[in-house]
Structure 1
Amino acid sequence: MKKLINISFATSLAVAAIILTSFVEGQHNTEVQKEKIDNTGNSGFAVVELFTSQGCSSCPPAEDLVAKVQEENIGKPVYILAFHVDYWNHQGWKDVFSDREFTKRQYQYASWLKTETVYTPQIVVNGKREFIGSQEATLNNALTTSLHATFPSSLSLNANLNSNKIKVQYQSKGADHNTSLQLALVQKVAQTTVKRGENAGRILSHVQIVRQIQSESVSSTGSGYAEILIPAGFDPKGWEVIGFLQNTNNGEIFAAAKQDFKVNI
């Protein structure tokens, strides 16, 4: 009888081991399959808007940070837009890239995000999260979250240069009546020698400088054309168009794309 009990106990252990092994393998296969689904179905992206100024001594570290982030995320859907605001211009140095429209955009975010004031350097990611622009860990966390998110909408662009205009063809999905298409004309790199103000004597390097931005209504079909007037100093080899779909009620961005230029002569 004792022998039979031992055999039964051993048999039970063997069966339990088989069940446990099967369970672990099943869990592993499920995780592998889930990972494949997540990787192939991921439509995450990050639109990083930096509000900055050449007149602000706290801004160069933030501009260096977004330049670093851009270098580290080559090939990924990370879209950096540096908006140079104009409210520092009375402090002794006028930012050569500043524009009142960019200041208005920052104030619009203050309304959307319910912040008490505007400041530089400020970063807004995908229109729904803001923080001090030099906070590297916070920015990296925001990028990770955004790149692993999924969005039901999509956007593609095709930009062609004709005479003194840029003709942008767009194709979007998932846009509703509260959606606008924002088109930013971006100069990829520049340097400026600052002679006065808080950064006097410094040579500042800039990336992804927004030179102008315009809002377009999205057609009912989701596709259409928009035209951008070419500004002075434009060089198609060093500029690009970044577009994104934005909710006009709360500022949330839910699709983005960029396009270099094709020249038609």
Structure 2
Amino acid sequence: MLFLLVGNTIFSQSNQDKKGFALLELYTSEGCSSCPPADELLGKIQNELKDKNVYVLSYHVDYWDKQGWKDIFSNADFTKRQYDYAKYMEKDPIYTPQVIINGKIDYVGSQETSLRNGIKSALSKPVSASLNLETNQNANSLALNYSVEGTSKNSRLLIAVVQKEAKSNVKRGENAHRVLSHYQIVRNLQSVDLNKAKKGTTSVHLPKNYNAQDFEIIGFIQDMNSGAILGVKRV
């Protein structure tokens, strides 16, 4: 009986890893008046579906920073990532709020029905790659052990350090005199080249206010030829 229970547990975990997933990458800004509804919607979806293989990453771009208000979470690297997606999907120009699901298709971030349909579609598709992550914190960095299976030759592992929530008092720009709520804010994103063994250890830099309760680590595998996300894991 014990042998059968162990066997069933392993089988169950294997099937769980193969279930579909939806990685939602939101491109947003505190300087964009159309963005707060998308921020709120992604926060709502994160809260509702966090146990359903749905993952949310909010990237604050910097091209709104010259319009009267500098977003404290903005990063030029995130703007570059959005431009890279524009090339992958042959979409021009870029815009906010934009949500890209699994690196394949984009949606206006505030259109709830379309977004939920996109999530449902993504969850119905099998996963082609698996990812395992373990972390150990050392002062201002994390030692992250990773192993991947089923990836393409041109895949990379990307590690996002995510602040779960924050509020900002915006004093100027299109959202002047508003207190904005943000969710799943990407504070740092780093890329790991996968070796032939496709496993190893990397060091992840942490922001000064990092703590295990208010932050999480989301790792995902991306095909750098097509932009498609092949697998994702939360730590």
With structure 1 as the length reference, what TM-score do the two structures score? 0.81
**In structure 2, what is the equivalent of residue 245 of structure 1?**
221
Q: Any conservation in 2 of the 1:159–1:241 contact (CA below 8 Å)?
A: no
The 2-side partners of 1:185 and 1:41 are apart by 22
**In structure 2, what is the equivalent of residue 56 of structure 1?**
32
Whichever residue aligns with residue 207 of structure 1, its letter is: Y
Aligned length: 222
Compared CA separation, residues 195 and 144, structure 1 to 2 (3 A): same
Q: Any conservation in 2 of the 1:180–1:216 contact (CA below 8 Å)?
A: yes
Supply the RMSD in Å over aligned alpha carbons.
1.5
The 2-side partners of 1:234 and 1:72 are apart by 24
**In structure 2, what is the equivalent of residue 7 of structure 1?**
none
Whichever residue aligns with residue 254 of structure 1, its letter is: L
The match for 1:218 among 191, 194, 200 is 194
Pairwise mapping of residues 1-265 of structure 1 onto structure 2 (< 5 A)? 42-259=18-235
The 2-side partners of 1:71 and 1:182 are apart by 23
**In structure 2, what is the equivalent of residue 262 of structure 1?**
none
Unaligned stretches of 5+ residues in structure 2: 1-14
Aligned-residue offset at 1:230: 1.9
**In structure 2, what is the equivalent of residue 29 of structure 1?**
none
Q: Rg larger in 1 or in 2?
A: 1
The 2-side partners of 1:41 and 1:185 are apart by 22
Aligned-residue offset at 1:176: 2.7
Kindly indicate which of the two structures has a greater share of residues assigned to helix.
1
- Identical aligned residues as a percent: 45
Compared CA separation, residues 59 and 41, structure 1 to 2 (3 A): closer
Q: Any conservation in 1 of the 2:17–2:130 contact (CA below 8 Å)?
A: no
Aligned to 2:30, the other structure's residue is in SS state coil
The 1-side partners of 2:17 and 2:134 are apart by 24
The 1-side partners of 2:217 and 2:66 are apart by 30
The 2-side partners of 1:231 and 1:74 are apart by 23
The 2-side partners of 1:215 and 1:58 are apart by 30
Aligned to 1:64, the other structure's residue is in SS state helix
Q: Any conservation in 1 of the 2:128–2:151 contact (CA below 8 Å)?
A: no
Moved more, 102-111 or 229-238: 229-238
Aligned to 2:66, the other structure's residue is in SS state helix
| Per-residue deviation, residues 12-36 of structure 1 (Å, max 9, x unmatched) | xxxxxxxxxxxxxxxxxxxxxxxxx
Q: Any conservation in 2 of the 1:53–1:95 contact (CA below 8 Å)?
A: yes
Aligned-residue offset at 1:226: 1.2
Aligned-residue offset at 1:138: 1.0
Compared CA separation, residues 240 and 40, structure 1 to 2 (3 A): closer
Aligned-residue offset at 1:158: 1.0
The 2-side partners of 1:234 and 1:224 are apart by 24
Aligned-residue offset at 1:148: 1.4
The 2-side partners of 1:44 and 1:195 are apart by 42
| Per-residue deviation, residues 145-184 of structure 1 (Å, max 9, x unmatched) | 1111102211111121112211111121112321000111
Compared CA separation, residues 128 and 54, structure 1 to 2 (3 A): same
The 2-side partners of 1:165 and 1:74 are apart by 25
